Structure 1
Amino acid sequence: MYEPIRTKSVHSTTAGTSDFPHRSREEELDIQLAGHLSALLAVTDELRAQAPSGDLDAAADRLVAQVCRLRGGAPLRAAPGAAPGDPAVLHRRAHALAGRALVVAASRADTAAAILAAERMDAHTAALAALAGPRELTTTG
């Protein structure tokens, strides 16, 4: 009724039959997390170039430590761009990157990276609120 399969499957998952390397889920999550933290470090460096602060210096040091732990080596750090970016845009980008890092850190149960990402989200939220200035209450109706 059915014709037998005559050729070997190209989707074979048995050990030793594949020509390309496989990574575990944990390795893939490590790579993703290191990437998000490296991108967050780059934005942090941009913010540090615009307005140096102890908080950003400490955050950069902690980000470097986490990336080193995940990758096994120090991250490459680019010099900040010649044209300074809008601080609000940079803080929003950093907040989004920290959020992505938090999601990946939570999925791989990396408490240290999750705490760092959550702290950075809070710091960038506060920085955005400070840039927006005080808000006036309005009445409607």
Structure 2
Amino acid sequence: MYEPIRTKSVHSTMAGTTSDFPHRSREEELDIQLAGHLAALLTATDELRAVAPSPGLDEAAERLARQVARLRGGVTPVRMTSAPSDADVTALHQRAHALAGRALVVAASRADTAAAILAAEQMDVHAAALEPRELASTT
């Protein structure tokens, strides 16, 4: 009534059998995740640089680009040269803070001290930018 299966299964179901497709190690997966989070943080930083240029953001962007390139085996990340004209600086800082937090979690899991320090510093920078500024009273 049913036709028998004539091809080998694509899924390996028996213990001890090897499959024909490559597997990545946990470290390789974490490298890919960390590079992705840092690349996204770099994009947010480049957008902030386009809207509100500062030497601190320039330095952070270069450090992020070096870390992404290191994690990607020397492949330099694509960089943004402009930001949308209606970009909201507060929203960009919030997004960058969240991305830095994600990168910090993965870097800590991977035990990548350099990336963890960079991510923590960026979290601090963006958190400070989000704090309400105290107005000096003029009397």
TM band (smaller chain) = 0.7 to 0.9
1: distance between equivalents of 2:63 and 2:122? 11
Work out the percentage of aligned pairs sharing the same amino acid.
66
Letter in structure 1 aligned against 2:41: L
Asked whether the equivalents of residues 36 and 98 of structure 1 are also in contact (C-alpha less than 8 Å), the reply is yes
C-alpha RMSD over aligned residues: 2.0
Distance 1:87 1:20, change over 3 A: same
Letter in structure 2 aligned against 1:90: L
Higher mean displacement: 71-80 or 85-94: 71-80
Higher mean displacement: 87-96 or 75-84: 75-84
How much does 1:134 deviate?
A: 1.9
What are the Cα deviations for residues 49-103 of structure 1, in whole angstroms up to 9, with x where unaligned?
0111010000001001100110011011233333231111100100000000000
The SS at the match of 2:64 is helix
For 1:1-141, list aligned pairs within 5 A.
10-12=12-14, 14=16, 17-72=18-73, 73-129=75-131, 132-134=132-134
How much does 1:21 deviate?
A: 1.5
What are the Cα deviations for residues 23-72 of structure 1, in whole angstroms up to 9, with x where unaligned?
00000000000000000000000000011101000000100110011001
2: distance between equivalents of 1:106 and 1:119? 14
TM-score, reference length from structure 2:
0.83
Distance 1:49 1:24, change over 3 A: same
Asked whether the equivalents of residues 50 and 84 of structure 1 are also in contact (C-alpha less than 8 Å), the reply is no
1: distance between equivalents of 2:134 and 2:95? 22
2: distance between equivalents of 1:56 and 1:13? 52
Aligned length: 126
2: distance between equivalents of 1:101 and 1:86? 22
Letter in structure 1 aligned against 2:37: H
Q: Gaps spanning 5+ residues in structure 1: where?
A: 1-6, 136-141
Distance 1:78 1:14, change over 3 A: farther
Higher mean displacement: 25-34 or 72-81: 72-81
